[in-house]
Structure formats: structure tokens, C-alpha cells
Structure 1
Amino acid sequence: MHHRAPAPSRRTLLTVTAAAAAAAVTGVTSPVAHAETNDRGLRRIIDRMSLEEKVGQLFVTRVHGHSATDPDQADVDANLAAFGVRTAAELVARYHVGGIIYFSWAHNTRDPQQIAALSNGIQQAALAQPTPVPVLISTDQEHGIVCRVGEPATLLPGAMALGAGGSHADARRAAQIAGEELAALGIRQNYAPVADVNVNPANPVIGVRSFGSDPRAVAGLVAAQVQGYQRAGVAATSKHFPGHGDTAVDSHYGLPTITHTREQWAELDAPPFRAAIAAGIDSIMTAHLVVPALDPSEDPATLSHPILTGILREQLGYDGVVVTDALGMEGVRTKYGDERVPVLALKAGVDQLLDPPRLDVAWNAVLKAVRDGELTEARLDVSVLRILRLKAKLGLFRRAYTSRAAVERIVGRKAHLAEADRIAEATTTLLLNEGGFLPLSPASHGSVLVVGADPASPSGTTGPPTTTLATALRELGFTATALSTGTAPTAARIDETVAAAAGQDVVLVGTYNVTATSSQRTLVARLVATGVPVVTVAIRNPYDVARLDGQRAVLAAYSWTDVELRAAVRVLAGRARPRGRLPVPVQSAEDPTKVLYPVGYGLTYGH
């Protein structure tokens, strides 16, 4: 039986690390001195933890509901089904979890004040435990197509858009704005920036979430974003190690294999992670994929000791927090059962176990592995210390709570929104402008029909792309009508759209990942045949331009969030000049060896 020393008071624990955390911020003591002081205090906390509390610190889990103590009944039912508890507070009490991840679909992110109150409720529950340790609250706020917190928070251009802008200063500033707003909401770990180098246009899961295809360019932007987030007091997380950029399989639904040689990995995949480590990255997320050149066992990287310990820890010298990608993804579940995955991940070198499909199964599996001797308690202590170091660095032991005033002062402030618009304008990329057709003017192109794909909003709060584009055009003096045709327009919808194009000055089409068999190609061809000038805006991957013909102009926006679409409209109307440059090559659809638009390509025009 594990014997636990008497638990200290909450005040004692807060005092233990307060001086060291303050020193880390102010730089009063030397790095070595404050690290030693900090570790001594943190080890005293670990010594007072029960085995169950140590196991809990390793887990980061989802929870349903907008409130830590009073969620809606549907969320109570969801928590009972998933965890056997009713609320986030009960979840913390039962499993002593070290982290909580927020999702919009779990109803965690309705509005800023609600998010802050949820964060404070979770911290209150954590600090009421026998060994009070604050929770590290996290989310996926990459911006662009992956956002969990929507308006009125500031939404910023995503990674590939920033890659098109090419400015380290803008990337850093975007991350700092995002970090300041997350911190005000009580979210202190962000699973961004993506450090994958997107060298495969068919990549179904990364794509515009990557800064681009050039490892050195990606490395510079990753480092800039790490600096921005961490200046704002939020732990950045580069992902997905050892690199998810060259795969045609989505690890949410299968187990990808990366065929790069070790030399290719070092040249293509490693540079952004090296740059993140050099920038002082707080955490690195693993990938659920196989890299035979790095581990012949063909275990997923998340479960690979040669990859996580041999390469990440020993070769690259990283001693920060390693967090798994979500353990409910199929990529990590194809080879081993859910009860083995968390144990094998810890043996590989992981610290945080993210969102297992069954928390009780995973938690008890780790507990059993220690009691059976497969894992030692000393091994757990190593990871718990890394996690507590991060919490101390973030100041959570000094101040776990946020405030309504902080939310009102910081989240969605006018200066942040203006910066987002400025940064977005520098990312919009003009790929085609036949005969200098752009910019448009209300005098000569006053009537615009806006059609195209309306994918679900990444944040759940922004408008459909066709509506956003039409509204932005109307605000600039155009007469604009929105007609959604979807990502797979039917023959009847295409006929309706062609009829609606009659008498228009321009048709603006928002395209979304056009494939060889996509009916979006038919839509554009039919519209071109009407004789009305057609302009397309690729609202996700810029590769669409290779599969479409006859347009007068083509823009790449890299996302369908409002900030990027409004910027694209300002470029269309000549209110801003296009300055973005392709961060990935666009190859011929018929002959992939032929590059139609190289990295760095982008047209421009004067105001």
C-alpha cells in the first residue's frame, strides 16, 4: 500500500513555488538558481502526492459543459456516460487530472465570460484537493481552419496564410495576441503552432494548418510563434513530432506511414522542431504515425521509445513536456488496446496523456502498471515534475484564476482586431489576373453574384463564406448577392446558379479543395461559359487553381474565417494590394512533376 505524508495546506503549496515563479519572470536570480529552488519546492509537492494523484497529473481530458459545477442536463448525461461523474469539478475530484482540454462541441466555449468562469471553477475544484495543484487548461486554437474559441475573441490568419505573408514579426504578433486572449480566459496551454512541413498536396489532415513546404521557412515562423505565445504567458505546443507533413492518411481515422529516410527526415521534418526547441518551446505533441527509418518496430511515434526518447530527448536535447496527440484517434489504437496505449506512451517518454477514449480504463491501466512493477513510481515522478515545472513557469501556483475584468480588457479588443485585419491583408495571394481584370470597382463591376462552398465554420461563430464575402462587398459599395452551392453542387443547383448569373457584372466563386471529380469544376466551367467574368477565391488549399480554367482572376485566402475573407475582398476591390506569396508549390493536376506556380509566386498591383 502506498503511504502518503500529511498534505500541506493550500497556502503552503502556493508559497513554496511563488518565489521561484516570480524569479523566473523577473529574472532576479540566475536560471540555474531559480530552477533549483523551483525544483526543490515542486519535489516537496510530489512527495506529498498519493500514487493516484501522480497518475492523475499525467492526464489531460475533455469534459462536457459550460460550467464546472452546473452544466446543462445533456452535458451531465454525457459526463456520466464518459466518466461516471456529473461535472468538471467531480471529474477533477475523482481522477485528480492535471489538465483539461476545451472543445466547442463539448460546450466549453460559448462566450468569453463563460469560458473564464469555467476555468475558475475547474481551478477551484483542483485547489480543493488533498494535494492542491492547479490544472493546466488547454485547447486547439491554431487559428485559420482550427479554432475552438470564436468571436468575439480575435480570430487571426492561420499558419499557411502567415506562411504566405512571410513575416516573422506578424507571426509573432499574431501568436502574442492569441496568447493574451487565451490567458485571459484561463487557457494556458495552446496546441499550436503546427511544425509539420506540408510537402504532400494530398495531405488530408495538415494542409493549410502548416506554414508551408520549405523547412527553413516553416522553422522561422514556428520559432516566431513560440516566442509570441510564450511572451503572453501561454505554453506553446509544436506538433506533430516527428512530422506529419508527408502523408495521404489522416491519423484520426488510420495509421499513416512516413517513408522518409533518416536523412530526409533530418532535412525536411526536423528543422521546425529544432527551431521550436531552440526558441524554448514549453511542450511538443507527438504524432500517431509510423516512421520505419526512425523505428523499425513500426510502432506509432507516440509509443516509440527510439523516437521520443532516442531522438527527441537525447538527440535533440529536449527536456520539456511531451504530450500525446488525442488517444482516441485511430492512428494510435490500431496496434494496441486502449489499456496498453497510455502505459506504452509513458514508457516511450511521454509526460501528458491527452484525451483517452475511456479515462477510467487509461487511468487504471497506468495505476496497475505501477503496482505491477511495469512502470516505477520514480518514472511517474519524472513526468509529474516536468508538468509541475510548466505550471510554475506559467505562474499558476501564484495565480490560478482569471477575472471578468481581464476578459473585458483583453479579449476581442479593438487594437487586436485591427492587427488581425492588417496581418490578414499581407497574406492574400493573387495567382491569376488576366488582362489586369482586378481590382474591381463598384462603378464598373457593381453587381456581383457570390457563390460557392459554405463549409462549417471552424469556430462555430463566423458566417458562411458566401455571406461573409457578399456582406464585405456590400460594405464597399457593391451590389452583392450570396448563393450557397456547397462543396459538391448538384446539377440542379448548378443550373440555378447559371440562371442567377445572367445580368451580373462578375461572379465570385469560393472554391474548397477541388478534386479531379469535383462538381465544383462543372460549376466554374458552366459559369465561365455564360460570358460573365468569373473570379475564384480558394478558401482552403491553394491547389484549386490547378484544376480550374477560364477564370479572369484567382485569389488564395487559405481559410474561410471572416478575417481572411474580408481581407480578400479588400484586395479584390483594390482597398489593399495583394502581397502574399505562395508558401507551397502548385503542381499541374495532370502532371505532378510540372510546377505551375512555384513557392514565392504571387502577383500584385498598385492601389
Structure 2
Amino acid sequence: MPADESIEKAVGRLLVGRLPGKSLDAQFEQLLKDGTAGGICIFKDNVESLQQLSELVERISNASAFNPIICVDQEGGAVQRFDDVISPLPSLMALAATGNEKYAETAAVVNGKQLRALGVNCVLSPVVDVASNPLNPIIGTRAFSSDSETVSRFAKAMLEAFMQEGVVPVIKHYPGHGDTGQDSHSELAVIDRSMQSVQELELKPFRDCAQLAPALLAGHVWLTSYEEKPLPATLSSKLLEDVLRKELGFEGLIFTDDMMMKAITNRYGLSESALLAVEAGCDVLLLCSSASELKDAHQHIIDAVRSGRLKEERIRAANERIEKLFPNAKKPSIDHKSRLTQLEGWLEDDNARVSTIYQNAIALLQGKFQNVSEEPLTVVVPNHPRYSLPLARFLQEQLKFNGLKPSIDEIRYTVNPDNTEIEQMASRLKDRNIALVTFRAGLNKGQLELARRLEKSASNLIGIAADIPDDCQAVSKSTTYMCTFDPSDKAMEELAVMLVRRMGASGKCPVELETNPVKG
């Protein structure tokens, strides 16, 4: 048994925390200095400006007793934390819609080199879930495709590019989150299908990437064909050791998804679930909790080692895997000023490269491509709490830029409108030229009915799916429906460029629409 201090640091190296604000507070700084925490996962609410972010990463690195894991969910599209300060990135489904893995490689190069310049050494991407369920509340366009082979092909291109840029990529969410009907942030996600079916669909991209990916993130997903009782993969030694390690041959680092998600904490509590995850085979625990909660989990794991419940070898093996990817001897000296200057010099060219990807991703799902000109147009947009979807503003800007006089107005509707609102909208917009933006209409059934009503009452309708493409099934095949596969402001801007300046869309839908049950 090693000395107490080495036990404490060995356990601490497994724990990655989350800061409560935009600076490194005294509590987390002490946890890093003591070796009680082995890194920090950075979120959007930790970011104010490029300079502030660069300084924050430098402080985290300098404070740490280790070469810390500094990671971020910088996937692109709906999930990206730094898009306000560095190059915004297309969603993974948008990348697949280009049909060209070179664009996925380009996105990963831009992402990886910018993260590395900031001092961020780990990216929680790419997602290798298969988008097989359009009613999935959490994955959607975060996945590449409904075809597992396409997922594997694009994921491999990104993995190689990330590693070439010196950033550790983490594939997720093992064993697959694409066919769940639950959001593991709020409840345990479930896949209730046969073992053979899971092996052929969900597990295929993980198998294909097992020899290439240096790290993997396990999700809070229960596979009923593998575990009889409700047990998420993060706590299942059968899925982590027997299937992932032995059957799939994965030898890399295993991260947990955030252990503060209710799929875990509702049943086990944070400290006990952290211990159970280590026992099951996880190497790095994302504890996006308070400093005191992380400290409690740290002590709980130490107590388990001292009591003999948890074998010391389990901690040692996790440390060896962490050291292989984040060696203490190679802890970088982060000079945020020089790195910031370098990064700022890249942004213009990188943004242009990203714009090209967005343009090649936008797809015409059905009907005829229609340009927007000086003819009056009403843009009808869901009042989404997270995504502003400012298509109307960008259309006005593009029309003015091209010397045209815009006649654009915008009307917002409730994300899931009821019959009263739908009737009012249909009456108000009768005989108008309309661009209707929808967002996951299968989960917001009122949008499906709104699309049907406006198709009948409007003089002309252009449908625009701002996330998954399945929304187009609300209307007849002859009605124009486009898809950005991405709800970000950048996607709306590039769509406006296309509608005003271009003569068509080249993207191809990477998911199978015929069997998707979104019609309501």
C-alpha cells in the first residue's frame, strides 16, 4: 500500500471538475494544487472573451500538480462552448451531409489547432452514436448519420486530424445513445433491443474506431440485452471490461459522462456513483459538481481503497492510462499571450474554411430550390430558449449587401404551439410568402400541424429544418423543404447567403427519412 499522499494524488488524478464561473476560484485552485482534482472541463458559462479564456486555461495548468486534463465539449453545431470566441463549427450531421470526409478532417484541424493554441488538450468529440431515432431528445444532429458505416468513416477522419493537431479526442457515448428516447441529463436512457441488433448498429462505430481512438466516453445508457436490471454503461463492468475491453479490443482511456446527470445521481448519489464507476472500469470521472462535492467523492474513493473494497490496482491502471496521454513530464508551459496572438492570426482564414463547409452541407430535402429576393417574405421562427435562429436578420443583411431592397419581417411562435396559436398564425399569414423554420418538429408536434396549416394558407412556403431533417415529412413532397442540420447562428447566416446568392444546394441528407416516425 503506498503512502497516504500518493493514494490521494492517484485518486485525484482521475477526477475532472467544473468551475462555477469565469475565473479559477480559490477552492478549485487548491484542489488542483493538492492533486485532489486532475483537471477541469470548461463550459460556455466559463467563457467571456478570447483573452479571458486563454488566461483561465493558463491558470488551470499552472495551478495543477499534474499535466491536467483540460477538456471541452466542442463538437460543433448544437453543442460547442467556444463558438463566441473562436471559429464556430458545423454539426457532425452537417459534416456528413457534405458527403466528403475531407470536410470533417478540415473541421477537426481547425478545431484541434485552435484548442491547442488555447492550451486545451482534450476534446470530447466526435460523437459516434448512430442517429437511428428521430425522436431522440438529446442526440439529433450531434450524430453523423443513421448509417453506422458513414458514422465510422467520418469519425475516423476526425480522430486522425485531432491527433495530428496534438489534442486528445474522445469518442462518445458508448455503448450508443442514438436510439434512446430519454435524455440522460434527466433520467436513465434505455435501449431495449436484442444483443445482435445492438452489436450490428450501436456498437459498430465503437468497434471500427477501437484501435484508433485514444479515449472514449461512456454514457449513462442501459442496454437491457446486456444488463437485466437498470444499470448504466458507466457502472457496468460487463459493458466496460467484457465487451469494450475484451470483445472490441479497446485499450484507451475511458471517461464517464458527467456524473452529476440525474440518470446517475437520482439513484446512487455522486460519491457512491463515482466509486461504482471506477470499480466498473472507468479511468476518468467527469464530476461537474461543486468543489466540496468533488472533494467528498475523492475521499469516498480513498476510503474504499483503504478498506479493501476497491483494489489499488484499479487506481494504478487508470493512472497509467492517463499518464500515457497526458504525461506529467511533458506538461506544457502555457504562455497565453503568444498563443493568443497566434490564434488571432488564424481566425480569418479558419472562419472562411468553415463557411465553405456550411455551404456544402445545406441540403434541399424536397421540392424546388427557391431564391429570396425583394419580394416580401415573412420568416416564421420558433422562439427557442437556446437557439436564436436569426435567419430574418441575416436575409436582410445579405439582400442589402447585394444591392437589393429587403422586405423581410419576422414572426415568432411558441416552440410547441397549441391549436389556438396555430389557428391565429394561419389566419394572420394567409396568402403570404413564408419561410417557416422548424426545430425537431417530431418532438414538438405543434410545429408539424403549423407546417401543414401554413402549407395550405400561404401563397408560397419554404420549409427550413434547423436541426434534424425529418421535419419535412409534415408537408407534401412537392413543397420546398431545406435543412441546415445545425441550429447555430453561423448555420443561419450561411443559409441566408445561399438563399440570396446561390442557385442551389449541394448537401445530401445523411439519415434515412422513409422509416422515421415523426408525422404525428
TM (norm. structure 1) is 0.78
Query: Does the aligned pair in 2 maintain the 1:533–1:551 contact within 8 Å?
Result: no
Cα 1:365–1:465 change in 2 (3 A) is farther
Shift of 1:454: 3.7
Q: Distance in 1 between matches of 2:89 and 2:450?
A: 30
- CA offsets 1:362-413 (integer angstroms, 9 cap, x no match): 1111011001011132321111111121113xx9824141422322332561
What is the match of residue 453 of structure 1? 382
Matches within 5 A, 1:321-400: 321-355=253-287, 357=289, 358-392=293-327, 397-400=330-333
What is the match of residue 312 of structure 1? 244
Matches within 5 A, 1:217-366: 217-278=150-211, 280-355=212-287, 357=289, 358-366=293-301
Q: Distance in 1 between matches of 2:197 and 2:420?
A: 48
Whether 2:98 is the aligned partner of 1:165: answer: yes
* 1:180 paired residue among 109, 113, 132: 113
What is the match of residue 370 of structure 2? 439
Query: Does the aligned pair in 2 maintain the 1:222–1:275 contact within 8 Å?
Result: no
Structure 2: stretches of 5+ with no match in the other structure? none
Whether 2:60 is the aligned partner of 1:122: answer: yes
Q: Distance in 2 between matches of 1:293 and 1:492?
A: 44
Which deviates further from its counterpart, 540-549 or 521-530? Answer: 521-530
Shift of 1:202: 1.4
Shift of 1:102: 0.8
Query: Does the aligned pair in 2 maintain the 1:429–1:555 contact within 8 Å?
Result: yes
Percent identical: 27
Q: Distance in 2 between matches of 1:588 and 1:312?
A: 30
Shift of 1:255: 1.4
Which deviates further from its counterpart, 158-167 or 290-299? Answer: 290-299
Root-mean-square deviation (Å)? 2.8
Shift of 1:588: 6.7
Shift of 1:424: 0.9
Query: Does the aligned pair in 1 maintain the 2:365–2:480 contact within 8 Å?
Result: yes
Query: Does the aligned pair in 2 maintain the 1:449–1:482 contact within 8 Å?
Result: yes
Shift of 1:465: 4.5
Which deviates further from its counterpart, 564-573 or 303-312? Answer: 564-573
**Aligned residue pairs: how many?**
514
Matched to 1:57, the amino acid is R
Shift of 1:589: 7.4
- CA offsets 1:90-142 (integer angstroms, 9 cap, x no match): 3323553111011123xx1111111110011111111xxxxx31211111111
Matched to 1:268, the amino acid is L
Secondary structure of the 1:339 match is: helix
Whether 2:355 is the aligned partner of 1:424: answer: no
Which deviates further from its counterpart, 446-455 or 284-293? Answer: 446-455
* 2:460 paired residue among 518, 530, 533: 533
Query: Does the aligned pair in 2 maintain the 1:164–1:427 contact within 8 Å?
Result: yes
Query: Does the aligned pair in 2 maintain the 1:450–1:469 contact within 8 Å?
Result: no
Whether 2:519 is the aligned partner of 1:581: answer: no
What is the match of residue 54 of structure 1? 10
Which deviates further from its counterpart, 331-340 or 214-223? Answer: 331-340
Secondary structure of the 1:293 match is: coil
- CA offsets 1:536-569 (integer angstroms, 9 cap, x no match): 1100111111123597411011112122222322
**Who wins on radius of gyration, i.e. which is larger?**
1
Cα 1:565–1:516 change in 2 (3 A) is closer
Matched to 1:440, the amino acid is N
* 1:568 paired residue among 492, 495, 516: 495
Structure 1: stretches of 5+ with no match in the other structure? 5-48, 70-85, 127-131, 593-607
Query: Does the aligned pair in 2 maintain the 1:255–1:334 contact within 8 Å?
Result: no
- CA offsets 1:263-284 (integer angstroms, 9 cap, x no match): 2222111221123223x21210
Q: Distance in 2 between matches of 1:494 and 1:201?
A: 23
What is the match of residue 19 of structure 2? 63
* 2:393 paired residue among 467, 481, 484: 467
Q: Distance in 2 between matches of 1:141 and 1:111?
A: 16
